[in-house]
């Protein structure tokens, strides 16, 4: 029997929303303060996912000011397909509020935003038989809207606020037979996270709760996957049901530290007596009948392509003058003239290694493992020396330094969950390789780059940066260990 490993999309990919078109599945995730926003994935079997773009990839769609706090920005998209068109609705929590974008193809281009005249977060879209478009938001309130203008046509009105736990959010409406089902998350997105369900004959209600609520929760268990919730449902062509949801994988001594952020998991769903039944989310499950693994692109980037790969992200914005693939062909050039420049990718595996070949020029540049501005570890080249710098809240400290010759160097970080002796979740070992070979500089405790220390809703991002001058990068390599 084939099995699949959870998570199906590792690393900081929270709040998954999924839809099926024929035999193809498409999935969107939250992106918070990073640009481009809302990564989009494609699969043929719900297990193997390939990123095909980002829904918000133009400044006209996503304008995050420089003072946007970490973990603000874009929250909880819902992705749907209706009448031959893709719809994505989401929230800019510090800017335009709820808005939707549309596209003929999931790869885009996606339209400019249409503002939705309805406050709240975690918006959902569903259509009834007469074509009315319903929008639900956390709380839970429901309204009929015009998706072409964003105007509210009826409501909003409260329908069901869950079983009484805090933060009823992430609502999704589904028509199944003669019933409308309303699924939501409760208990907050930490250890108390859960999924609850209610149903009604109309989107307007009244709703009756499932007799077995919550239909999913890992709270107060010792299961390796925690914080399960913020789910979405999808059916396969053969009529089976599946749930995508977020979860975390905490490690280390009490209270446990998760460093990759909230990740996307997959679990089967059965219907019993008119209600969905979901078992615990396991690290391995029997796979769906379809099995279509993609030939995934390599994680090494030699910067030979004419455009950046979809997986590269930057905090808040990526001004045109801050990067170039043509200034030095075959290299990525970062320029700090308009301010620090950063280009990174999500850490997706607990054990991994990232390395970069850098020609530092005359500036300050290097490789960073980042949670936010106040929590990051950097290996940096400047002034004829390579150093490792740790930023933990208000504390900024250089923890290692070594002279290096001019010219290209290889900077690397190896992240390991093996016994660190500190009871933290992992250790990060930084090294430099020059003409005389590789030299290990220092090892740091990973707990200080975790959600439990930094706070917020994101996970680690590993990438290249420059804070002064310019620097060129020949390649970036990421590998699972």
Catalytic (active-site) positions: 15, 169
Cα dihedral: 163, 167, 170, 175 (round 10): 20
How many Cβ atoms from other residues are within 10 Å of residue 328's Cβ?
15
Long-range residue pairs from 279-285, CB within 8 A, at least 24 positions apart, any chain: 280/218, 280/221, 280/223, 281/6, 281/216, 281/218, 281/223, 281/225, 281/228, 281/245, 281/247, 282/6, 282/225, 283/5, 283/6, 283/224, 283/225, 284/3, 284/4, 284/5, 284/6, 285/3, 285/4, 285/6
Alpha-carbon span 98 to 74, nearest angstrom: 10
431 DSSP β-pair partners: 412, 440
**3-state secondary structure (DSSP) of residue 462:** strand
Cα-to-chain-centroid distance, residue 421: 30
What's the farthest any 2 CA atoms get from each other in the chain? 73
Whether residue 14 contacts residue 29, with contact meaning beta carbons closer than 8 Å, is answered with yes
- Element at 452 (helix H, strand E): helix 451-454
From residue 385, alpha-carbon distances to 251, 361, 365, 397, 405 in Å are 34, 12, 11, 16, 8
Sequence-separated (6 or more) residues with CB below 8 Å from residue 238: 289
In 3D space, the residue among 89, 90, 87, 96 whose CA is nearest the CA of residue 75 turns out to be 90
Whether residue 406 contacts residue 420, with contact meaning beta carbons closer than 8 Å, is answered with no
212 DSSP β-pair partners: none
Alpha-carbon span 403 to 42, nearest angstrom: 46
Whether residue 103 contacts residue 111, with contact meaning beta carbons closer than 8 Å, is answered with yes
Q: Residue 262 corresponds to which tokens in the numbers above?
A: 């909230």
Alpha-carbon span 52 to 38, nearest angstrom: 11
């Amino acid at each position: 029997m084939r099995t699949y490993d959870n998570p199906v999309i590792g690393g900081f990919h929270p709040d998954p929303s999924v839809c099926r078109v024929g035999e193809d599945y498409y999935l969107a995730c939250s992106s918070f303060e990073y640009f481009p926003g809302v990564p989009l994935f494609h699969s043929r079997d719900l297990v193997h996912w390939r990123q095909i773009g980002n829904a918000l990839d133009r400044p006209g769609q996503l304008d995050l000011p420089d003072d946007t706090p970490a973990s603000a920005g874009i929250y909880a998209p819902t992705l749907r397909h209706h009448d031959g068109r893709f719809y994505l609705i989401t929230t800019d929590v510090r800017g335009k509020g709820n808005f939707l974008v549309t596209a003929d193809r999931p790869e885009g281009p996606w339209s400019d935003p249409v503002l939705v005249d309805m406050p709240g977060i975690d918006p959902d879209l569903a259509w009834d038989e007469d074509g009315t478009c319903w929008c639900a938001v956390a709380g839970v309130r429901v309204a009929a809207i015009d998706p072409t203008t964003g105007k509210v046509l009826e409501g909003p009105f409260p329908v069901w606020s869950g079983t009484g736990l805090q933060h009823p959010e992430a609502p999704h409406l589904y028509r199944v037979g003669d019933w409308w089902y309303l699924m939501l998350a409760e208990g907050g997105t930490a250890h108390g996270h859960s999924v609850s369900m209610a149903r009604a004959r109309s989107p307007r209600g009244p709703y009756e709760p499932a007799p077995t609520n919550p239909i999913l929760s890992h709270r107060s268990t010792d299961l390796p996957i925690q914080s399960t919730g913020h789910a979405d449902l999808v059916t396969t062509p053969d009529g089976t049901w599946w749930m995508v949801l977020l979860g975390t994988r905490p490690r280390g001594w009490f209270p446990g530290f998760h460093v990759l952020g909230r990740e996307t998991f997959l679990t089967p769903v059965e219907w019993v007596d008119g209600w969905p039944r979901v078992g615990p989310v396991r690290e391995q499950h029997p796979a769906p009948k379809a099995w279509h693994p993609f030939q995934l692109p390599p994680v090494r980037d030699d910067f030979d392509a004419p455009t950046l790969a979809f997986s590269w992200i930057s905090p808040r914005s990526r001004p045109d003058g801050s990067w170039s693939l043509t200034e030095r062909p075959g290299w990525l050039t970062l320029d700090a003239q308009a301010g620090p420049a950063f280009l990174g990718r999500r850490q997706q595996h607990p054990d991994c290694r990232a390395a970069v070949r850098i020609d530092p020029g005359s500036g300050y540049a290097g490789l960073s493992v980042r949670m936010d501005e106040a929590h990051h570890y950097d290996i940096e080249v400047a002034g004829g020396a390579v150093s490792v710098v740790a930023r933990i809240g208000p504390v900024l400290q250089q923890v290692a330094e070594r002279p290096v010759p001019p010219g290209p160097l290889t900077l690397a970080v190896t992240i390991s969950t093996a016994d660190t002796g500190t009871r933290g979740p992992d250790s990060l070992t930084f090294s430099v390789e020059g003409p005389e070979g590789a030299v290990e500089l220092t090892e740091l405790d990973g707990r200080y780059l975790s959600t439990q220390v930094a706070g917020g809703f994101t996970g680690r991002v590993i990438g290249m940066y420059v804070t002064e001058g310019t620097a060129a990068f020949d390649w970036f390599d990421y590998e699972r260990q």
